[in-house]
């Protein structure tokens, strides 16, 4: 039987199918906000403000204690329009769909998925919780258990939505060192066959080659200290004692003292976790004459419904970088550090929206899955002079960290 010309509708739905099943981080992150953008009116740069759930202090006793309903928002902007464009001949379009999928379509979608997955993995730069040591691949389960503790202390749901995303080196190291420990027998066999972790310590484990690699700032021989104690709600802090140093956006700082440490607070119990609160530097900042005003997130709040620290840092409290004291800065300064992820899926979101279908083309189709939140557009037009079909694949999407407390970076 003769082959028939492949229709754009068939190609579009085949492309969506491949997109839905390629790369790990992008298919295991929250995508429920895709449908919240206006259908037909979405454009590059459009922003949706996503509400975060309010928090309440509660009361003891019969007397009512009225609390304000304080809603906070996270902006989600459609920042990325990505695509892959090709020319295909009439002969290629007469391939059966299986051949076309493997020879033409799949390599396109694999590249497109890779780009999207990179953007998802790069969300690590905005997370403040960190375990491990920059520049040192974690080998012990205790490092990943420390990440679990941070999620537990932040009241992350234990609903099956926790995932661990590791770069190939970190995955190989932990699989080799555990060799099947703490796994059900069936999963031990699968781990042996596949070389992957599977499920362990409450996480589904995945390898992802697109793990974000962070470069630690230049940390001179310094003894940084808090210069001015900030007020509750601050997102900058004045520090002194630096020496020819730069903190990069994505570096993690904390304020540790033997007398008045700034510890993290559980968001439900409002009790100290006994662990130092960590904050992510939001913009690259260099010292000037030994002083540095550091912008950070989340804002440091010591009382009320949004309380996240036990107290504000006092003057002269030492500043730690990636849990490292000044005396050991040389061990981590300027290190290249893969930021593996221990997250609940709701730590961030990928919103991929339906793109408009233009007129004046040979064919324009769009396929979307409400279940996965993925959407792709395929446009084809004919060039008579070369008997070629120009075919472009487009996606429009945004990524954002929704809840910093639901993600932990595992340094490598």
> In CATH, what number does 8-123+347-400 get?
3.30.2400
Residue 187 has pLDDT above 60, yes or no: no
Residue pair 253/319 in contact (Cβ under 8 Å)? The answer is yes
Confidence of residue 196 (pLDDT cuts 50, 70, 90): low
Find out whether the peptide bond into 145 is cis, omega within 30 degrees of 0: no
Residue 191 has pLDDT above 80, yes or no: no
Between 369 and 244, residue with greater pLDDT: 244
Least confident range from 175-189, 332-346, 388-402: namely: 175-189
Query: For position 81, what pLDDT does the model report?
Result: 93
Calculate helix-pair angle for 8-20, 106-121, nearest 10 degrees. Answer: 40
Domain boundaries, the chain: 8-123+347-400, 138-209+337-345, 217-334
Cα dist. 146→22, 132, 231, 243, 330 in Å? 29, 9, 30, 32, 24
3 state DSSP class of 116: helix
Cα dist. 78→206, 210, 250 in Å? 27, 21, 22
Residue 146 has pLDDT above 80, yes or no: yes
Residues 252, 126: Cα–Cα separation, whole Å: 10
Neighbours of 40 (CB within 10 A): 9
Cα 131 to the center of its chain, rounded Å: 16
Q: Which residues pair with 254 in a beta bridge?
A: 278, 320
DSSP sequence for 56-79: ----SSSS--------EEEEEE--
Query: For position 322, what pLDDT does the model report?
Result: 97
Q: Which among 80, 84, 69, 99 is positioned nearest to 6, based on CA atoms? A: 99
Average pLDDT over residues 24-45: 78
Q: Which among 384, 352, 405, 309 is positioned nearest to 30, based on CA atoms? A: 352
Query: For position 238, what pLDDT does the model report?
Result: 98
Residue 185 has pLDDT above 60, yes or no: no
Residue pair 352/396 in contact (Cβ under 8 Å)? The answer is yes
* DSSP count for the chain of H helices, then E strands: 6, 24
Confidence of residue 167 (pLDDT cuts 50, 70, 90): very high
Residue 48 has pLDDT above 70, yes or no: yes
Between 40 and 56, residue with greater pLDDT: 56
Query: For position 68, what pLDDT does the model report?
Result: 85
3 state DSSP class of 215: strand
Query: For position 5, what pLDDT does the model report?
Result: 47
Query: For position 1, what pLDDT does the model report?
Result: 35
Between 280 and 109, residue with greater pLDDT: 280
Place of tokens 């007020």: 231
Query: For position 4, what pLDDT does the model report?
Result: 47
Q: Which among 266, 399, 255, 390 is positioned nearest to 326, based on CA atoms? A: 255
Least confident range from 66-70, 92-96, 406-410: namely: 92-96
Least confident range from 41-45, 109-113, 117-121, 340-344: namely: 41-45
Work out the mean pLDDT of the chain and round it to a whole number. 86
Query: For position 195, what pLDDT does the model report?
Result: 46
Residue 9 has pLDDT above 70, yes or no: no
Residue 161 has pLDDT above 80, yes or no: yes
């Amino acid at each position: 039987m003769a082959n028939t010309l492949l229709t754009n509708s068939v190609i579009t739905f085949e492309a969506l199918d491949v997109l839905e099943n390629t790369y790990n981080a992008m298919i295991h992150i929250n995508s429920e906000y895709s449908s919240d953008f206006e259908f037909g009116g979405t454009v590059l740069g459009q922003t949706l403000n996503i509400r975060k759930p309010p928090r309440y202090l509660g009361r003891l006793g019969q007397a009512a204690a009225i609390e304000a309903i304080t809603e906070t928002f996270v902006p989600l902007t459609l920042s990325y329009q990505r695509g892959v464009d090709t020319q295909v001949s009439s002969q290629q379009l007469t391939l059966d769909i299986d051949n076309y999928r493997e020879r033409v379509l799949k390599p396109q979608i694999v590249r497109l998925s890779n780009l999207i997955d990179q953007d998802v993995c790069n969300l690590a730069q905005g997370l403040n919780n960190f375990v491990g040591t920059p520049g040192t691949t974690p080998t012990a389960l205790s490092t990943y258990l420390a990440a679990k503790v941070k999620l537990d202390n932040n009241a992350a749901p234990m609903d099956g939505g926790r995932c661990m995303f590791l770069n190939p080196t970190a995955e190989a190291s932990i699989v080799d060192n555990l060799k099947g420990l703490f796994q059900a027998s069936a999963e031990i066999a699968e781990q042996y066959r596949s070389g992957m972790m599977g499920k362990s310590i409450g996480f589904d484990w995945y390898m992802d080659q697109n793990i974000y690699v962070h470069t630690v700032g230049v940390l001179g021989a310094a003894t940084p200290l808090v210069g001015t104690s900030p007020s509750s709600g601050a997102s900058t802090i004045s520090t002194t004692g630096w020496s020819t140093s730069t903190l990069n956006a994505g570096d993690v700082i904390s304020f540790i003292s033997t007398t008045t440490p700034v510890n993290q607070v559980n968001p439900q119990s409002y009790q100290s976790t006994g662990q130092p609160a960590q904050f992510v530097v939001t913009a690259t900042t260099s010292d000037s004459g030994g002083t540095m005003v550091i912008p950070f997130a989340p804002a440091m709040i010591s009382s009320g419904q949004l309380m996240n620290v036990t107290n504000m840092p006092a003057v002269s409290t030492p500043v730690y970088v990636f849990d490292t004291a000044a005396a050991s800065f040389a061990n981590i300064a300027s290190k290249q550090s893969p930021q593996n992820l221990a997250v609940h899926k709701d730590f961030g979101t990928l919103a991929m929206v339906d793109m408009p279908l233009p007129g004046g083309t040979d064919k324009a189709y769009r396929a979307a899955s409400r279940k996965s939140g993925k959407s792709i557009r395929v446009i084809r037009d004919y060039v008579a002079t070369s008997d070629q079909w120009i075919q472009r694949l487009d996606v429009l999407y945004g990524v954002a960290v929704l809840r910093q407390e639901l993600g932990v970076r595992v340094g490598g």
